Chains A and B, each alone.
Chain A
Amino acid sequence: MLDEVTKVFPGGTVAVDGLSLEIEDGEFMILVGSSGCGKTTVLRMVAGLEKPTTGTIRIGERIVNQVSARDRDIAMVFQNYALYPHMTVYRNLAYPLRQQRLPRDVIRHRVEEVAEMLSLKALMNRRPAQLSGGQRQRVAMGRALVREPAVFLLDEPLSNLDARLRVQMRAGLKRLHGRLGVTTVYVTHDQVEAMTLGDRIAVLSDGKLQQLGPPQELYDRPANVFVAGFIGSPPMNLLRASARDGRVSAGDFVLERPGLPDGALIVGLRPEALKPAVDGMPSIAFRVDVVEPLGDELIVHGSLAAELIAASSDRDVAEGALPVANGTGVEAVARLDPRDRPAEGRVIRLGIEPEAVYVFDAKTGVAIR
C-alpha cells in the first residue's frame, strides 16, 4: 500500500523516510512510535491531506498520489475529533452522506443505524459543545463509520479521554472492528493501545520503519533496541555489556552465550522475566528503591549493578551513540510476585532464565539471536 514513501517538509525536516508498508484488506494496522516519529504524517498522506515527496501510495489497485482526499473513499477520526461545532450530532453524522447527495431516507436510515451501534440515539439534537469527551469521541467515530469507507484512519482517537474511558473505548473499538472488518490504520504513541488493538504493529522511529509484525512477535522478538524499549510496560531494562569468548557480562551479570563475537553489546532484561535468583541462574544485584504493590504483582524500581541505558532515545540509537543512564534518572524495573516482596533499600539478587535475555549489537542496536 505504501511504497518507498518519503515526506520532506519545507525547511528540510524528513518526517517519513523511505517507508514501505502493505496493509491487508480488513486488517487492523497500528502505527506506533514516540511523538515526532512521522506516524501522523503517514496517516495524513494516506488520507490525502499531505502529498508524499517521493514514492507511491495505493489503495486497492489504485495509485492515489494525485487523488484528492474526498475521492479516496477513506474516513478519518481526528485526535481532537473535529466535529462541526455549528451542527447537531445528527447533522454531523449525516454530513458525509449529504456530501455524497444520497437520498434523504437513505441518509436517515444509515445515520440511525450507526447511532444505534454507538448508542448515540439520545444525543441526536445536541451540539458538540454539549457533549462529554467520550460522547464526542463516539460521534467522531460515527461520522467516519457512516460512510462505510474502504479505509478507516484513526489519529490517536483515545488520547483525549481519561484513563477509564480509554480502556472502555479500546475494547469498544476492537469489538467494532471485529464486527465490521474495515481496513483500519490506527496511529498511537501508546504501546498498550498498540498491543491490545493491532493485528499487526508498525513501529516507527525517525520516519523509518523499525519493525513490522503481530504484537506478540514484537514483544517476543524485538528487532532492535528501540522496539525492545518501546514495546512492553514497564519497558525492558537495557544494560551496557560486553562479550568475550562466548561470555556476556554486564556489571556482575554474566551469561554464557557461545558463538557471540567479542565486542560491545546491549543486554535487555524484561521486568517480568526477573525473579528472585535461584542457584545456577544468571543473576544480577538489584538495589530496591521503591516498591509499588498493585495487588496481583509488585512493580519494583531500583538500580542495577550495571550501566543502564535509556530505553527509547531512538535518535541516539540510530547514530550509535547510546546515552549513559546511571545518575540520569533511568532506573531498573522488575515485576515480582507479592509474596517475594523485598524491603526498600535492600540489595537483592534477581535471576533470569538465559533464554529470556535479549542481546543487541551496541553500535547498530540490532538484535543478535
Chain B
Amino acid sequence: MASTSTATVDRLVRLDAPEQPRRRLPFSPWHLFLAPVAVIMLVPLIWMVILSLETSSEAQSFPPVVLPTGLHFHNYVATWNSEPFGNFFLNSAMYSLATVAGNLLFCSLAAYAFARLKFWGRDVLFIVLLATLMVPFQVLLIPTFLIVKHLGLVDSVGGLIMPNLCSAFGIFMLRQFFRTLPIELEEAARIDGTSRLGILFKIVLPLSLPALATLGIIQFMWSWNDFLWPLIIIDTASHAPLQLGLSTLQNAHRSHWNLVMAGTVMTQIPMLIVFLFAQRWFIRSIAFTGIKQ
C-alpha cells in the first residue's frame, strides 16, 4: 500500500511539472528525491513478506535473517487455521462496506445541506462540525461506548458499524466539493422540475464521483485498519474484524512473528486490491481539485 501511494505522488508531481522542451533528462529531477523515499517506504513491506515466509526461529533471531533458508508458505495455512480467519474477513468486510455505504449516503446528504440549503444557523453549525474534527477519538471512546451499550449493540458487528456511519470529515470534504459545482446546473434542474433530493441524486452526485470515490477509499482504509474501536466493543472472537483477530496471534506466551506477519500480509491483500482499482479515481480527484472546469 505504501508503495502505491508513493507511486501516486510520483505521478502527480510529473503531471504538475512543466514541459521542458530543451535538454531533457531521461527522468524528472524529482525522481532523485522520490525514488529513495519510495525505497524507504517499501522496506517494511518487503520485510513483512520475508518474515512471513521464514521459520519461527529465523524470524526471532538477531541479527535478522534477510534471506531465509526456505520459503515456508505453510505459515499461511497455519495462521489461517489457528484462528477463525474466515470470520475475521467476513466481519471486516461487513464493517468496511457498511461504513463506506453509510458515509457516502449520510455525508452527501449533510454536505449538500451545508453547501446549498439556506437555513438558520447553518454556518455556526458547520463550524461546530469542523470543531469536532479536532476532538481525538480517545476522548469520545467512553461516551460512544455508553451510547452503543444503551442501544444493546455491544459485542456485535452492528455496534462496530453504527458510530461510523457518518463522519465530520466526510461531510466537510463533500461540502467543499459540492460548492465547486456550477450552481446554474442545479438551478436549471430546479426549473426543469427536480426536487431538492432529486438534484442531489441526479445532478450533484453523478458529477461528484471523484470526490465520492476518494471518500469511499479513505473510509474503507480507515475501517479496514481500525483496531481501537473493535478492541473496545468486541469480546467474542467470532465477532472480531481482522485487525483485532490478528492481535490474538501475539500475546505474552507465544509470539510467532512469522505467523503474525503471514496474517498481516493476508489482511493487506484486499486493501491493495481496492487501492489498485480505485487508484484511477483517487488520482483524478486530486488532480480535479486544481482544475477549474
Contacts and interface: CB of A to CB of B under 8 A. Distances in A.
Interface of A: 47-49, 68-70, 72, 74-76, 78-80, 82, 84-86, 95-96, 99-100, 143, 147
A147 B194 CA distance: 14
B188 A78 contact: yes
B191 interface: yes
Interface residues of B, number: 17
A49 B293 CA distance: 24
Contacts of B195: 70
Interface stretch (B27-35, B58-66, B179-187): B179-187
Interface string B173-209: 0000000001011011111111100100001001100
Contacts of B192: 70, 75, 95-96, 99, 143, 147
A84 B193 contact: no
B191 A76 contact: yes
Given A85-B207, A86-B206, A99-B198, A80 B182 contact: yes
Contacts of B190: 48-49, 68-70
A95 B199 CA distance: 12
Contacts of A47: 187, 191
Task: Find the residue from B194, B195, B198, B207 having the highest chain A CB count within 10 A.
Answer: B194
Task: Find the residue from B192, B193, B198 having the highest chain A CB count within 10 A.
Answer: B192
Contacts of B185: 82, 84-85
B203 A84 contact: yes
By secondary structure, the B interface counts as helix
Interface in B228-247: none
Given A69-B190, A70-B192, A84-B189, 9 more contacts: A69-B187, A70-B190, A78-B187, A80-B184, A82-B182, A86-B206, A99-B193, A143-B188, A143-B192
22 contacts: A47-B191, A48-B191, A49-B187, A49-B190, A69-B191, A70-B193, A72-B191, A75-B192, A76-B191, A78-B184, A79-B184, A82-B182, A84-B189, A84-B203, A85-B185, A86-B207, A96-B193, A99-B193, A99-B198, A100-B193, A143-B188, A147-B192
Interface of B: 182, 184-185, 187-195, 198, 203, 206-207, 293
B206 A82 contact: no
Contacts of B187: 47, 49, 69, 76, 78, 82
By secondary structure, the A interface counts as loop
Contacts of B193: 70, 96, 99-100
Nearest to A72: B191
Task: Find the residue from A72, A79, A82 having the highest chain B CB count within 10 A.
Answer: A82
A79 B183 CA distance: 12
B84 to A, nearest CB: 44
Task: Find the residue from A74, A80, A99 having the highest chain B CB count within 10 A.
Answer: A99
A48 B203 CA distance: 19
A49 to B, nearest CB: 5
Contacts of B206: 86
Task: Find the residue from A69, A74, A80, A147 having the highest chain B CB count within 10 A.
Answer: A69
Contacts of A96: 192-193
Contacts of B189: 84, 95
Contacts of A147: 192
A195 B230 CA distance: 72
Contacts of A79: 184
A142 to B, nearest CB: 12
The 10 closest A-B pairs by CB, nearest first: A99-B193, A82-B184, A96-B192, A82-B188, A70-B193, A86-B206, A69-B190, A78-B184, A69-B191, A76-B191
A80 B194 CA distance: 20
Task: Find the residue from A75, A80, A84, A143 having the highest chain B CB count within 10 A.
Answer: A84
